[in-house]
Amino acid sequence: MTTAIYAKNHPLSAADQAREIFESGTGIYRTQKFASDFLSLVAEVARIGGRSFEKLQEASNVLNMGALGVIIPTAVSSTIELVQTTSDLAKKHFACSMQEGLDFVQKISVSGQMIAYSAQLFTQRFSFGVLGDVFSAVDDGVDAVLAGDQLYELSSAQEKTLPKPARVYLDESKRLHCIKLAKAVFAVVVGIFGLLSLIQGVSLLPAIALLSMSVASSALALIARVYQSNMTYVLKSI
């Protein structure tokens, strides 16, 4: 029988947490993408206001290329993981639970977006970037489904009968899943409208709206990561 233990969390210092983010491929990617989108947003606001900040857009492009550059190792590892998962499911004739099915879809979308972004890096073709955004939207869509389901389960739990550590963990988990859900929704909207704009050949939403949502999505992804690292308790199973 598995027993849940709520152990007191001892988070790293702010400097060590920042170092941990910048030492991980996904952390570097998220940080650079946030900075790139933010600079593009500022440049777009300036353009609307009748001013031209070309240097900002150039800096944004440099950061965006840097963000794409760090995903190549992730593309390789995620594809290897997808192949292994596919092999494991094939042995079971793809008979799996809903959780396993969603996990498989998420692995496909992660591998797809990493490969597409890598192709964009080497070919400089915008269409590969949009394809990557579509796969990213699927990935975030699954996150939204899982986060929504977990929020429902957390809300329906008998909180009053739980010990204090469990209640604290429950409350903080709700906030974490709300952050992830909001991040996923923004990312899905950006991905969908990016694809529709490519198909239609014209932007269906103002650039400032898409950039704002992209900045919000990247920011919330980083906030969720930091928040989770600083939760009061960590859940362990024995």
Chain segment 24-81, per-residue pLDDT in tens? 766 777 788 888 888 888 888 888 877 776 777 777 777 777 766 677 777 788 888 8
Tell whether 115 is covered by a domain.
yes
Partners of 237 in the beta sheet? 4
How many structural domains compose the chain?
1
Residue corresponding to tokens 């915008």 = 126
Lowest-pLDDT choice from 62-76, 113-127, 145-159: 145-159
Tell whether 8 is covered by a domain.
no
Domain that holds residue 160: 13-237
Tell whether 228 is covered by a domain.
yes
Tell whether 111 is covered by a domain.
yes
Q: Whole-structure pTM over 0.85, yes or no?
A: no
What is d(CA 92, CA 110) in angstroms, rounded to the nearest whole number? 23
Tell whether 2 is covered by a domain.
no
Tell whether 5 is covered by a domain.
no
Tell whether 3 is covered by a domain.
no
What is d(CA 236, CA 238) in angstroms, rounded to the nearest whole number? 7
Do residues 138 and 105 lie in contact, with contact meaning Cβ atoms separated by under 8 Å? yes
Instruction: Give 223's pLDDT tier (boundaries 50, 70, 90).
Output: very high
Tell whether 20 is covered by a domain.
yes
Instruction: Give 176's pLDDT tier (boundaries 50, 70, 90).
Output: confident
Do residues 220 and 172 lie in contact, with contact meaning Cβ atoms separated by under 8 Å? no
